[in-house]
Structure 1
Amino acid sequence: MKIVGVAACTVGIAHTYIAQEKLENAAKKAGYDISIETQGTIGTENELTVKQIEEADIVILAVDVKIAGRERFEGKRIIQVPTEVAVKSPNKLIEKAKEVVEQEKA
């Protein structure tokens, strides 16, 4: 499964990067490809490419604020949660993403 996403917290510092790291580790542990873009006080980092978004099975938005470029994900399956969920329960979030993808394929 291929996952892309965006992490962005209200301050744009700590939770943004913690959410990114936790999601990446949980997805890799489950054997999935993942790319997480961060939008914080220093701007956008690890910006997702059109190809990455097209190939993704699901999009995870771990955000507490309005993000730039949300329209890029139109037509994709999206799970949106606060960054706190990605930080505290990344494995459950990745499992939920898997369930959503499998339900839609069934």
Structure 2
Amino acid sequence: VTACPTGIAHTYMAEAALKETAEKMGVDIKVETNGSEGIKHKLTDADINRAAGVIVAADKKVAMDRFNGKKLLNRPVIDGIK
């Protein structure tokens, strides 16, 4: 999940960086974005159940209870870009 307060640049930069890194690692990834256009590519219960873990790179509130029981990395959005 990527999100920033304005949802114009960092949300989508983090999405691109996470996808690029996952591809290099040979890992499947789905990235939910919470940007200026609202939530896109929302993670379904099935997506979350299938996931080995969850990365949240966000500087705004994200519904976290849906990730209970999952390995979770929760960082500022800038860390998702790095």
* Alpha-carbon distance in structure 2 between the residues aligned to 1:70 and 1:80: 10
Partner residue, 1:84: 78
Partner residue, 1:98: none
Partner residue, 2:32: 37
Task: Using CA pairs under 8 Å that are at least 6 residues apart, name the structure with larger relative contact order, 1 or 2.
Answer: 2
* Alpha-carbon distance in structure 2 between the residues aligned to 1:71 and 1:28: 28
Structure 1 or 2: larger helix share?
Answer: 1
Could you tell me the TM-score, scaled by structure 1's length? 0.74
**Which structure 2 segments of 5+ residues have no match?**
none
Partner residue, 1:64: 59
Larger Rg: 1
1:42-99 CA-partner distances (Å, limit 9, x unpaired): 11001111111001011000001111x32111111100111111112xxxxxxxxxxx
**Which structure 1 segments of 5+ residues have no match?**
1-5, 89-106
Which 4+ stretches in 1 moved above 6 angstroms?
A: none
* Alpha-carbon distance in structure 1 between the residues aligned to 2:24 and 2:44: 23
Could you tell me the TM-score, scaled by structure 2's length? 0.94
Count of residues in Structure 1 that have an aligned counterpart in Structure 2 = 82
Indicate the percent of aligned positions where both proteins have the same amino acid.
Answer: 43
From 60, 65, 74, the counterpart of 2:68? 74
